[in-house]
Amino acid sequence: MDRRQLLESILGVSGAALISPAFAGLSLPASLASDPINDHSLVSQFPKGFLWGAATAAYQVEGGWNEDGKAESVWDRFVRVSGNIKNGDTGDVACDSYHRYRDDVALLRQLNCRSYRFSISWPRVLPTMHGAPNAKGLDYYKRLVDALLEAGIRPLATLYHWDMPQEVEDAGGWPNRDVADRFADYVAVVARALSDRVDHWCIFNEPKTFTQLGYWFGKFAPGRKDPLAFLRATHTVNLAQGKAFRVLKSVSAKAQVGSAFDPAPMIPASASAEDRAAADQWFRLNNLWHVWPALTGAYPGGVLPESELPSLLGLQPGDEQLVRAPFDFVGLNYYTRWTVRAVPKGFQGIPGLMADAQWATGPHAKTDIGWDVYPEGFYDIVTRMSRLMGAQMPIEITESGAAYNNPPDAHGVVHDPQRIAYLRAHLRELARAIRDGAPVRAYHAWSLMDNFEWAEGYSQHFGLVAVDAAHGQRRTIKESGRWYARVAAANRVV
């Protein structure tokens, strides 16, 4: 049975290229499932060649918001609206990585990271929709990538981590179908400039998040609250994903291309048939809406009325081919689980949607941002997504981590045992998933350092490294960072 037949049989929907010799360790690890492990001391061992890394995003760490020809982004605009961001924080300076990227690369080496997932700022590279690329912006990313390569660290570049140029939003933003072509133009500029240095690309980070929170719930930039605009945005993003995939492949034959998604376990609020059906529907919307079209050319059934898909999404003939993106790998982000309940009268004006979800509640321990600590969900979602996407689809964990806001002690040391416990439990579940056949080849901790955490501003700390803005952006590796460095060196959970 081929991958598409497998997908259709599971959900009832219609509708590995060579690795760069410079990073031979990226070859897909052989499944450990065929070799039963009797020694329980090896349960936390990772396959030979597994890549340990860390992740950041441009708006969250770069700063330099209006330097060297960079244009205004939707986040530059959004943070200036009173009440949008906790404490009125902005990303104007963030971690100042635009000037201190060499410090960041040095930190990655100290953490024994062999991969760095970072994002490229669209408005820094292509400030206007119809103007020339910004050479100074491109030069920054060339310098960053060169520094990574010199340090023996693989660059994993994300092309969109939520910072759309404000000019593009003013022209309609993601609900405007034409933006798919604008995005493809930007991707072509980046690919031509960096594909001699970068082989591995994520097109999007969490398209579910920036479309829902940006256009439906209004919590993230650009702050719109229009469920129908949200639906249109999801289709434009899927078109852009397919177009970007083809652009990257046309520019570089060696490009390895994927996207990063944030699937999560959907837990029914009760044992009722209605809540179980709602959890299944929300699983399809949140976890598959942007994966399924790329792999099959079709949207997952059971979310929107099939007869209304053309009008709700703005479908046009041939779109089933345009959205296709036969990924070389898929990135998965994991943090927590969701609780889902049935809404008999429908939810938020979206036709056919009979489910409502929220961050899980209950007796589980919570991180400081209030999310459930649910490590077994990591195993569940990785193995389930692997089965759905096809057993041979390589997976990289592109983000995973926790917010714990431990301050430094009198000696400047950050003791954060909760983060160590969180990572240890989750990495053991990931090792178990790999042992049971999930083809995971890399793990990137979120985040390399404390940074601008979107609507939470600087109030939530996800980093392995503390950043002290009051003392010249001083970076200090936390105890969790030193623990992570030992894990990466040993290639096993310690």
Q: Catalytic positions, please? A: 206, 399
Beta-bridge partner residues of 118: 157
Which amino acid, one-letter code, is at 140? Y
CB 299 within 8 A of CB 309: yes
CB 91 within 8 A of CB 75: yes
In sequence order, which residues have a C-beta less than 8 Å from that of residue 139 and are 6 or more positions away? none
3-state secondary structure of 26: helix
- Sign of dihedral through CA atoms 339, 340, 341, 347? positive
* Alpha-carbon gap, residue 159 to 177, rounded angstroms: 19
Q: What is the residue whose two structure tokens read 């090896």?
A: 42
CB 459 within 8 A of CB 475: no
Q: In what order do the strands lie in the sheet with 266-268?
A: 266-268, 338-342, 355-359
How deeply is 425 buried, as exposed, middle or buried, from its count of CB atoms within 10 A (0-12, 13-18, 19+)?
Answer: middle
Q: What is the residue whose two structure tokens read 């390589």?
A: 394
**330: nearest Cα among 10, 6, 16:** 16
Which amino acid, one-letter code, is at 288? L
3-state secondary structure of 355: strand
Q: What angle do CA 183, 207, 342 make, to 5 degrees?
A: 150
- Report DSSP state, residue 41: G
* Alpha-carbon gap, residue 328 to 255, rounded angstroms: 9
Which amino acid, one-letter code, is at 237? V
CB 180 within 8 A of CB 239: yes
| Cis previous bond, 222, omega within 30 | yes
